[in-house]
Amino acid sequence: MARKPRKKPSSPTTEASSQPRPTNTAVAPIPSSQPIFGEPAPSPDPKAFVVKHLSDNPLYNALNKKLLQAIPPPREGASLVLKLADVLGEKPIQRIQTAGRIVFHSVGDTGPINGPENQSLVADKMVDDFKEEDDPADVPSFFFHLGDVVYSFGEAKYYYDQFYEPYRNYPAPIFAIAGNHDGMVYGGDQSPSLEAFLNNFCTATFAKRPEAGSLHRTSMIQPGVYFTLDAPFVRIIGLYSNVLEDPGVISSQGDKNSPVDDQQIAFLKDQLSAAKEYKGALLIAVHHPPYTGGSHHGGSPKMLLDIDRACQDAGVWPHAVLSGHAHNYQRFTRTVNNNDLPYIVAGSGGHAVTSLRSKKSGGPLRVPMPLAPDLIFENYDDSEFGYLRIVADKDTLRMEYHSLGPGPDKSGIDTVTVDLKSHTMISN
């Protein structure tokens, strides 16, 4: 797609110095019946980070780029299925069921390191989706983050600038799978892999975290770094694909010496088997993409094989696979058992935008582009930030990609709709 001019950020009415500031005061968890999402009143975008993000180049040099990290076990005694009702309460769930559909957001790779502007632009447009005058049923119910929440190594000290403040006006729950940057560790780092992620997304009760400073959003109660979110009309199986830049890894891959065990494979098979009689949309979300174009990030064929084997063993295939990691938008269609299976990469949430095109060619790619007898590269956007708006009802799953480029604010620049019963794409 041709590059589009980026929207100018709205002019804040107050300086960044007037924004809420982090505090180091420890606070006790609030009752689990009282999660808090957005702030009670909207506030303008910050102009600068509160905690200066220093160059991470020396720390990258201290990384062991071949060292995988063990998967933290789920919280003891916690169900690996988190029901949306446990977070929103029963009344919002009843409204979703009465409306006959659910709407939610998804994107990854949001944490910026050079300043808040790009992430704020995406977050602001997502917040605009809550302003639905024509039909309240179009209001999103949650945001499912596809990983790399905080760069460069998931440090707790950056959670305020890269997570809590950008989404201070987002009035709904935020769930997340971890990306490689959320779990990376370097020589001399005293924090265990994924420590800050677990403290902010996987607490036993909703808690006011020190990382949130004076903002009100509470931590999320996910059971661990892999889990299933069960909502009306949709289930999302979230997996953790570890810390390598490439490829993604969700299992031991048969290596007895690997620090990664096979607990996620057992979980995935169990969740797929449990979905045999499920009538709603079934999604798999994993940070590293099984397929991707361009040269900056490659696909993950062994991880894809792990997922395929689990699906074959269970006799159940998802209706779509969502991922991030590559900093752009890409959509592929794979034919599996005569079913159309979209693989969507949405890593354009604010960190960076990476072109799929080489400097030599420069021009746009011609799509759709057959890549194999069973795989088509359908569409992409490598020129602008954006996010997914996903709609599921009893019959269909619609996935819209919304860019920050010019055009109607409510109009996605790419859309795919899957018929749930036939597992085939239908015209929009």
Domains of the chain: 21-357+367-426 (3.60.21.10)
The pLDDT value recorded for residue 423 is 96
**pLDDT per residue over 365-415, tens digit each?**
889 999 999 999 999 999 999 999 999 999 999 999 999 976 667 789 999
* Residue 358 Cα to chain centre, angstroms: 27
Give the whole-number percent of the chain exceeding pLDDT 90: 79
Average pLDDT for the chain:
90
The pLDDT value recorded for residue 411 is 80
Give the whole-number percent of the chain exceeding pLDDT 70: 89
Q: What is the mean pLDDT of residues 4-31?
A: 43
| 329 secondary structure, DSSP code | E
CA distances from 414 to 4, 71, 281 (A): 15, 35, 19
* Among 233-247, 306-320, 322-336, 355-369, the least confident range: 355-369
Name 131's Cβ contacts closer than 8 Å, sequence gap at least 6: none
Instruction: Give the strand pairing for 329-336 and 375-381.
Output: antiparallel
* Among 187-196, 232-241, 261-270, the least confident range: 187-196
Q: 270: exposed, middle or buried (C-beta count within 10 Å: 0-12, 13-18, 19+)?
A: middle
Task: Assign 33 a pLDDT band (cuts: 50, 70, 90).
Answer: low
The pLDDT value recorded for residue 30 is 52
Whether the pLDDT of residue 4 is over 50: the answer is no
Element (H, E) at 397: strand 396-403
Whether the pLDDT of residue 1 is over 70: the answer is no
Distance CA 397, CA 145 (A): 18
* Among 302-316, 334-348, 355-369, the least confident range: 355-369
Q: What is the mean pLDDT of residues 287-298?
A: 88
The pLDDT value recorded for residue 13 is 31
Residue 239 DSSP SS3: strand
The pLDDT value recorded for residue 358 is 63
Whether the pLDDT of residue 315 is over 70: the answer is yes
Whether the pLDDT of residue 302 is over 80: the answer is yes
Whether the pLDDT of residue 2 is over 90: the answer is no
Q: What is the mean pLDDT of residues 287-315?
A: 93
Check if the beta carbon of residue 341 is closer than 8 Å to that of residue 316: no
Q: What is the mean pLDDT of residues 260-277?
A: 97
Whether the pLDDT of residue 342 is over 80: the answer is yes
Task: Assign 346 a pLDDT band (cuts: 50, 70, 90).
Answer: very high
Task: Assign 21 a pLDDT band (cuts: 50, 70, 90).
Answer: low
